[in-house]
Structure 1
Amino acid sequence: MEKNIINTNNAPAALGPYSQAVKVGNVLYTSGQLAINPVTGEFINDDIKKATAQSLDNVKAILEEAGSSLDKVVKTLVFLKDMDDFAQMNEIYSKYFTTNPPARSCIQAGKLPKDALVEIEVIAIA
């Protein structure tokens, strides 16, 4: 199977030597998305709800570039700076996955890139 690299200007550019997403067959793997607005470059690091929404908007843009959507996500992995933010993150997350939500893991990370509040990655059907 061929490995296809997915990139879009509608999500932040990679901060290092990795791709926004990789598609193999009909499976799409995104890299973790921070709360960076791809248009303004603004990094949201003071409000978990806004940060979660921006991270998921970035995931959504990558999925759409690959011909997929949030409805086709089968697994998410959420990294939180502080597990005390779980309820607020979950409130926003639930607005993006309203029916038949994907499987999910959520962990408190020791430290995230740019000292982010949240980072979200997904696996989806492309």
Structure 2
Amino acid sequence: MSTIYHTSKAPEFPLPFSQAIRAGDFVYVSGQVGVDPQTRQVVGDTIEEQTVQCLRNLETILQEAGLTLDHVVKTNAHVSRGEDIPAFNKAYESVMNAPYPTRTTVVSGIGTYLIEIDVIAYAPTRRGEA
């Protein structure tokens, strides 16, 4: 049995996907980008600004499922430009708490966005808890 999560507080796009689905103890959150939830306009011109907004959008969806970013155990990040990876790392580290989730970061052609991130969260505990 799975549960679908949706919130109008996160960006909504007319695309065929769920914002998040809980399957067992895991919550899978679809890729989010660095856009303002109300206007769907890209926030800022830098990877840092867009990364922080992207993570806040993921956090909003996780909250709908009763979770936080500290429940995230796996992150998949798609960065538009390879040269932005160091700045992405700095912005990511400013929002995410240690111990950090496992992560894959790839350079992808993601259109006009500088970053897209999806996450997998483990509902029973936060990272670092027994």
* Structure 2: gaps of 5 or more residues: 124-130
Partners of 1:121 and 1:101 in 2: CA distance = 15
1:14/1:20 contact within 8 Å kept: no
1:60/1:69 contact within 8 Å kept: yes
TM-score by length of 1: 0.91
Partners of 1:21 and 1:62 in 2: CA distance = 7
SS of the aligned residue for 1:32 comes to strand
Match of 1:103 in 2: 102
TM-score by length of 2: 0.89
Consecutive aligned runs of 4 or more in structure 1 exceeding 6 Å deviation: none
Partners of 1:11 and 1:74 in 2: CA distance = 21
Match of 1:56 in 2: 55
Partners of 2:107 and 2:24 in 1: CA distance = 31
Partners of 2:121 and 2:85 in 1: CA distance = 23
Q: What are the within-5 Å matches in structure 2 for residues 86-97 of structure 1?
A: 86-97=85-96
Match of 2:115 in 1: 118
- Alignment coverage as a number of residue pairs: 123
* Structure 1: gaps of 5 or more residues: none
RMSD: 1.3
